[in-house]
């Protein structure tokens, strides 16, 4: 996760605060400093990187369901009894 980008950093802080993971006052402070454009300490970045483990599954898009193949409507079997029809 690229915590050098401020938009990602703010999103990570928001998700952590919503999930109630980590030290809430510290995360709020990190988020506020980032929004104000102030310098972020390396220790705070490392702290967020560790906490990102808890939200990693949310940052990935959900897997899309595979479409089912369409059944052939013109089959050569009787729908009632299952015997072959020629």
pTM for the full model?
Answer: 0.62
- Please state the φ and ψ torsions of residue 84, each to the nearest 5 degrees: -70, 140
Domain positions in the chain? 6-59
Residue-wise pLDDT tens for the chain (86 aa)? 678 889 989 999 999 999 998 999 999 999 999 999 998 999 999 999 999 887 764 444 555 656 665 555 556 777 778 777 76
Q: Are 85 and 78 in contact (CB under 8 A)?
A: yes
Q: Which two tokens stand for residue 3?
A: 């915590």
């Amino acid at each position: 996760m690229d915590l050098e980008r401020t938009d990602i950093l703010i999103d990570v802080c928001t998700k952590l605060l919503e999930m109630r993971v980590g030290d809430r006052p510290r995360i709020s402070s990190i988020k506020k400093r980032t929004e104000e454009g102030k310098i972020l300490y390396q220790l705070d970045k490392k702290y967020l990187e560790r906490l990102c483990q808890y939200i990693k599954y949310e940052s990935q898009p959900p897997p899309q369901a595979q479409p089912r193949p369409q059944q052939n409507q013109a089959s050569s079997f009787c729908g009632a009894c299952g015997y072959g029809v020629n």
